Structure formats: C-alpha cells, structure tokens
Amino acid sequence: MPVTFDNRDGVLTAAISGDLDHHTAASVREAVDRMAESSLPRELVLDFGGVGFMDSSGIGLIMGRYKLMQSMGGSVRVEHASPQLKKIMNLAGLSLLPIAIR
C-alpha cells in the first residue's frame, strides 16, 4: 500500500509514497478515510515526502480529506511537498483554503 500511518496525540499522519494518480488515489483515499473515521484526529497531516508525481487525482485526494476533516471539526496540513507539487497545489487553488502547505 502506498500509504503508512502514525497516530499520536490527536494527529494522524498519512505518509504517501510513489505516484499519486488515478491508479493509486482511490486506495490511498479509502485507507486515509478509514483511519481518520476510526481515530477521529483533530488534525490530518498528509506527508507528500515520498510522492514523486501527482495529477489531478492528488488534488481531489487533498480536497476530499479537507472536507472530511471539516465535517469532523478537524484540519488538514500537507507536509514535505516538493516545489513542483506545491506549484500544482497552488495552481489548483488549494492555497485559498485553510490548508497549510509546507
């Protein structure tokens, strides 16, 4: 599975690895949702340090997890995104949402 989890002190970190495209996004989404819904974190950290490529499916993954966490009263943070991935996220308008992108 291209995602591993760490759940500590109300912060659920999902470390994603490999390419995040239409082939992998659904399984990552399902795994993250399952973990978030069972642990009810106050913050979800999406660690993109291991992601080499992302298409619009990755934007959809982030947006969907943002909506999920909003419904649970939590927040989303994206960490370790490469400059190229940050550019894609900003062009897609994610910087207009209260999502910290680091």
Entry pTM: 0.95
Is 72 in contact with 39 (CB distance < 8 Å)?
A: no
Residue of 67, 78, 77, 81 whose CA lies nearest to 33: 67
Residue 52, beta-bridge partner list:
none
Has residue 14 got a pLDDT over 90?
yes
Is 75 in contact with 44 (CB distance < 8 Å)?
A: yes
Predicted pLDDT at 7: 97
Residue 1's pLDDT band (cuts 50, 70, 90): low
Query: pLDDT tens digits, residue range 42-99?
Result: 999 999 999 999 999 999 999 999 999 999 999 999 999 999 999 999 999 998 888 8
